[in-house]
Amino acid sequence: MTTLNINGKDYELALEGHVTLLEVLRDTLGFTGTKTACDEAECGACSVIIDGRSVLSCITLAQDCVGKKITTIEGLARGEDLLHPIQEAFIKEAAVQCGFCMPGMIIATKALLDKNPAPTEKEIQKGLDGNICRCAGYPQIMKAVKHASKLMREDNA
Amino acid sequence: MLLNPFHLYQPQSLNEALASLKKHPGARILAGGTFLINQLKQLKKKGLKTPDHIISLNAIETLKGIAFDKKSLIIKSMTTIANLADSGACSSLRKVCQDLATTPIRNMATVGGNLTCRYTWSELPALMIAHDALFHFVDREGAEESIAAEEFYRSGAKTDKILSHVSLPFDNVLFSYQRVKKTLHLDVPILTVTIKLSRKDNNFSDARVVVNPGNHFPLRDKILESFLNNKPANMDGLIAKALNHYDKDILTKTKDEYKIHMHGICIKHALTEILEQING
């Protein structure tokens, strides 16, 4: 049996070596917020945070995540009715169009802002460079990240 | 399932990894996974054979980290590109790593994987050749072997050993790395030019010029190196003269006119950047 720590909780799982983290999250545990899209580690829709860094779960073996802290999009909200400031910001700035890239974008934003609470525009572009939005909603996404940065700094002040 | 089934070994030490490799000589080594896992997916999609045994090095802590040893910088093979980019070590490597691929890829990809993947467009090989790095391998019997980066790539970069670390001289050098990409900044480069120089009195010395044409392992431009060595840094018209003294054959064979044109541009930009480093 393998233990994976996901969103602060331990899950005991019978895993085979070749199973990716993405498959465990979606198919075994029902965390379908993390998306299967390009399947080539190019689009970022499968992004999760492992030990503070955004990674691509479609090319991560689940067994290699033992002992690490995994955060998915489901782990961000602060309660049933309380969104994370990043989620609030993305909604307020109308950054969500079709929504498919959003979990990955928000996860990448969380990883960025946890490391760099007040990024410049260039740093935001770089921090989210592993996430593609086919709706081309980048201007709104940029605004949302800046807004989220402000909200998180106010939260921490 | 995204991948065909395989036995995954997760050794906790290099010796355990070598023991697994000895028992399963056909096993593939898994580092960050940014090359191998995608490769396995593609093989599955095409209905081709995939390995039955994979040895993951991810749990081996002694293969991670950066250290200094007398006059050498030691980079362990499972150090991620992101960790190298964030480290205080070797500003030239840091600068290149900061712009390599994308953020999540940098968080996952390892120095060892980038150096031994055998994709000709991977970026760290040229840097290692420029810095005259040594690659330190361990074979299944535990025997260690060191090989210069240049020699490793000249002989095709094939190995059945595990790369434990690389070491490079820790010098105060002048350095420039130029990348050419066709479209997005996060594309793999189609051409890179690396120039590394030392200075003795006011003259350049120990010049290393490494060109990666993208479809071939990196090559040294010994014509330009020879020109630059012993030239004073404040030589009149240095850049213009250098552009008449570089190995155009490295790219002429590609018959790619854009690359051939950009080869000269990269040398010009690299030398301009180096002169700016000197003049502050």
Residue B85, pLDDT score = 94
CB A48 within 8 A of CB A25: yes
- Chain A window 41-100: which residues touch B at a Cβ cutoff of 8 Å? 41, 44, 47, 53-56, 58-61, 63-64
ipTM: 0.95
Average pLDDT taken over every residue of chain B:
93
Contact yes or no for B2 and A20 at CB 8 A: yes
pLDDT digits (tens, 9 = 90+) for B216-232: 899 999 999 999 999 99
User: How far, in Å, CA of B150 to CA of B218, rounded?
Assistant: 8
* Nearest chain A alpha carbon to B11: A64
Q: Name chain A contacts of B54, Cβ cutoff 8 Å.
A: 17-18
Q: Name chain B contacts of A130, Cβ cutoff 8 Å.
A: 102-105, 186
Contact yes or no for A129 and B186 at CB 8 A: yes
Handedness of CA A94, A100, A103, A107 (dihedral sign): negative
Contact yes or no for A61 and B103 at CB 8 A: no
Contact yes or no for A108 and B2 at CB 8 A: no
**H or E element at residue B7:** strand B7-9
Q: Is A104 on the interface with B (CB under 8 A)?
A: no
Q: What are phi and psi of B160, to 5 degrees?
A: -110, 20
Q: Is A37 on the interface with B (CB under 8 A)?
A: no
β-sheet bridge partners, residue A9: A6
Residue A90, pLDDT score = 97
Tokens of B111: 């120095």
pLDDT higher at A21 or B187 = A21
Residue B182, pLDDT score = 80
Residues 6+ apart with CB under 8 A from B4: A18, B40, B43, B44, B50
Residue A81, pLDDT score = 83
Q: Is residue B255 packed enough to be buried (19+ CB in 10 Å), middle (13-18) or exposed (0-12)?
A: exposed
Q: What are phi and psi of A103, to 5 degrees?
A: -55, -45
Closest CA–CA distance from residue B277 to any residue of chain A (Å): 24
Residues 6+ apart with CB under 8 A from B236: none
Proportion of chain B above pLDDT 70, given as a percent: 99
Contact yes or no for A130 and B105 at CB 8 A: yes
Residue A109, pLDDT score = 98
> Which one of A16, A47, A63 has the shortest CB-CB distance to B104?
A47
Contact yes or no for B103 and A59 at CB 8 A: no
Residues of chain A short of pLDDT 50, as ranges, are none
Q: Name chain A contacts of B5, Cβ cutoff 8 Å.
A: 16-18
CB B231 within 8 A of CB B238: yes
B186 pLDDT exceeds 70? no
CB pairs under 8 A between A and B: 86
Residues B69-95, mean pLDDT to the nearest whole number: 91
pLDDT digits (tens, 9 = 90+) for B111-120: 999 999 999 9
pTM recorded for the entire structure? 0.94
